[in-house]
């Protein structure tokens, strides 16, 4: 009888990496498992909210705040800028939050959170941790001055920006985080240069790093375990901290609700959204890409980029987006598997 292990057609046994999609949490020790895998999670953002189906922001916030709650031992205050996350979770008089939660103005979440952290300190409740959260409009545009002040004073706040790349709550207007060429209500797909302009852009994670604050990270709903890990780390650090999370928005991007995670992954795997961490002004690590995918794989399923594929001039603009992805890959050493960034 032939030994199946030595027969020519036999394959070597494969042991799948723990923590991957294949085996999930099953081979990981209790402490390493994701917060969501635990029945003790806080369910800080619970069911009944009114986000669109497939909303990346709802998913990111749920994972981030539950992870923060675990690290803070439940002693957490979350301040929320005006925006989709605030609107879909708190239609008066209801709320989906099971955490101490405050709604600030659109532009002052960082300042309000600074006040909360100071009040807790003065009251001797120094164990209470404070988080501010907002969309990219509330963070990179209108709230930017308050955010920079919070960084510069090194206030004891973790600010989380959920970046869906436009002002979604008010009908998809362009923000300073909207990618070049994207169609929004204020950058229509018409004229000689349809969609958002190719300008200098505004890279808020890099601006945060330039403030020299203790911790800055980018993350994505493509890797929720990594997002949890970064939130847990950030909550444990004192001083100003910033996490910028990429969260696809089916409504604003014109994508299928079941494609949220796939698109988030393609943004990372193409190099358009680099994932990295920085401490005290220095980039300390980046998440490597196994195989770079062309940006077209990410752009094509989204109606906001459809004009790029319906005219011959579109290919030049796709090439410019590809160049941005290629630059990110070089800058953050995303294909350099041997080197630490
Ligand atoms: C001072 C001020 N200007 C405008 C608005 C109207 N407004 C409310 S939410 C919002 C857009 C929020 O966009 P973003 O911060 O990107 O969050 P998203 O809804 O995309 O999550 C705007 C313009 C407001 N509430 N306050
Ligand atoms: S518009 Fe976008 S961000 Fe707002 S709830 Fe819908 S999917 Fe989420």
pLDDT digits (tens, 9 = 90+) for 167-203: 999 999 999 999 999 999 999 999 989 999 999 999 9
110-127 mean pLDDT: 97
What is the position in ligand 1's atom list of the atom closest to the CA of 162?
Answer: 21
The per-residue pLDDT for 2 is: 43
Ligand 1 pocket: which of 83, 142, 176 to mutate (most atoms <8 Å of CB)? 83
End-to-end Cα spacing for the chain = 53
Ligand 2 pocket: which of 54, 82, 88 to mutate (most atoms <8 Å of CB)? 88
Distance 326 CA to ligand 1 centre (A): 32
Cα 297 to Cα 224, 271, 314, distances in angstroms: 22, 12, 15
What is the position in ligand 1's atom list of the atom closest to the CA of 138?
Answer: 15
Confidence of residue 6 (pLDDT cuts 50, 70, 90): very low
Distance 57 CA to ligand 2 centre (A): 7
The per-residue pLDDT for 336 is: 85
Least-confidence region, from 31-40, 52-61, 251-260:
31-40
Distance 229 CA to ligand 2 centre (A): 24
The per-residue pLDDT for 23 is: 56
8-29 mean pLDDT: 58
- Judged against a pLDDT cut of 90, whether residue 30 lies above it is answered with no
Give yes or no for a contact between 73 and 150, defined as CB atoms under 8 angstroms apart: no
pLDDT digits 0-9 by tens, 270-315:
999 999 999 999 999 999 999 999 999 999 999 999 999 998 889 9
Ligand 1 pocket: which of 107, 112, 167 to mutate (most atoms <8 Å of CB)? 167
Cα 81 to Cα 88, 97, 109, 153, 243, distances in angstroms: 12, 14, 5, 20, 15
Q: Is the CB of 60 under 6 A from ligand 2?
A: no
Mean pLDDT of the chain: 93
36-40 mean pLDDT: 86
Residue with tokens 């294909």: 335
- Judged against a pLDDT cut of 70, whether residue 96 lies above it is answered with yes
Residue with tokens 């041997």: 338
151-160 mean pLDDT: 98
Strand partners, 277: 217, 285
Alpha-carbon span 341 to 132, nearest angstrom: 28
The ligand 1 site (C-beta within 6 Å) comprises 57, 82-85, 106-107, 134-138, 164, 167-170, 175
Confidence of residue 1 (pLDDT cuts 50, 70, 90): very low
Give yes or no for a contact between 177 and 165, defined as CB atoms under 8 angstroms apart: yes
125-154 mean pLDDT: 98
High-pLDDT (> 70) share of the chain, %: 91
- Judged against a pLDDT cut of 50, whether residue 4 lies above it is answered with no
DSSP secondary structure of 222-266? T-HHHHHHHHHHHHTS-S-EEEEEE---HHHHT--GGGHHHHHHH
- Judged against a pLDDT cut of 80, whether residue 268 lies above it is answered with yes
The three-state (H, E, C) secondary structure of 80-128, written as one string = ECCCHHHHHHCCCCCCCECCEEEECCCCCHHHHHHHHHHHHHHCCCCCC
Q: Is the CB of 144 under 6 A from ligand 2?
A: no
Least-confidence region, from 12-16, 32-36, 259-263, 312-316:
12-16
- Record the pTM: 0.93
What is the position in ligand 2's atom list of the atom closest to the CA of 84?
Answer: 4
The per-residue pLDDT for 341 is: 43
What is the position in ligand 2's atom list of the atom closest to the CA of 52?
Answer: 6
Cα 84 to Cα 51, 140, 179, 272, distances in angstroms: 8, 15, 19, 24
Chain centroid to CA 33: 20
- Judged against a pLDDT cut of 60, whether residue 15 lies above it is answered with no
Chain centroid to CA 164: 8
pLDDT digits 0-9 by tens, 243-255:
999 999 999 999 9
């Amino acid at each position: 009888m032939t030994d199946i292990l030595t027969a020519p057609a036999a394959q070597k046994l494969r042991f799948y990496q723990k923590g991957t999609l294949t085996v999930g949490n099953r081979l990981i020790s209790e402490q390493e498992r994701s917060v969501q895998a635990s029945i003790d999670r806080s369910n800080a953002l619970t069911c009944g909210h009114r986000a669109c189906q497939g909303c990346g922001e709802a998913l990111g916030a749920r994972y981030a705040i539950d992870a923060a709650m675990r690290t803070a031992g439940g002693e957490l205050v979350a301040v929320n800028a005006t925006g989709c996350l605030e609107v879909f979770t708190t239609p008066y008089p209801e709320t989906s939050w099971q955490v101490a939660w405050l709604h600030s103005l659109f532009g002052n979440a960082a300042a309000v959170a600074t006040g909360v952290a100071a009040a807790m300190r003065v009251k001797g409740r120094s164990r209470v941790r404070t988080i501010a959260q907002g969309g990219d409009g509330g963070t990179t545009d209108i709230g930017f001055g308050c955010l920079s002040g919070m960084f510069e004073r090194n206030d004891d706040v973790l600010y989380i920006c959920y970046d869906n790349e436009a002002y979604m709550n008010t009908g998809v207007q362009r923000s300073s985080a909207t990618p070049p060429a994207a169609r929004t209500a204020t950058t229509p797909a018409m004229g000689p240069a349809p969609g958002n302009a190719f300008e200098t852009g505004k890279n808020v994670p890099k601006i945060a790093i330039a403030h020299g604050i203790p911790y800055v990270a980018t993350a994505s709903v493509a890797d929720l375990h990594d997002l949890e890990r970064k939130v847990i780390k950030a909550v444990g650090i004192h001083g100003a901290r910033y996490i910028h999370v990429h969260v696809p928005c089916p409504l604003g991007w014109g994508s299928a609700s079941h494609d949220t995670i796939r698109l988030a992954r393609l943004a990372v795997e193409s190099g358009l959204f680099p994932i990295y961490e920085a401490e005290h002004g220095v980039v300390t690590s980046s998440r490597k890409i196994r195989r770079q995918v062309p940006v077209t794989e990410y752009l094509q399923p989204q109606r906001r980029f459809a004009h790029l594929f319906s005219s011959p001039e579109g290919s030049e603009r796709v090439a410019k987006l590809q160049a941005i992805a290629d630059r990110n890959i070089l800058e953050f050493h995303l294909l350099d598997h041997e080197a630490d960034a």
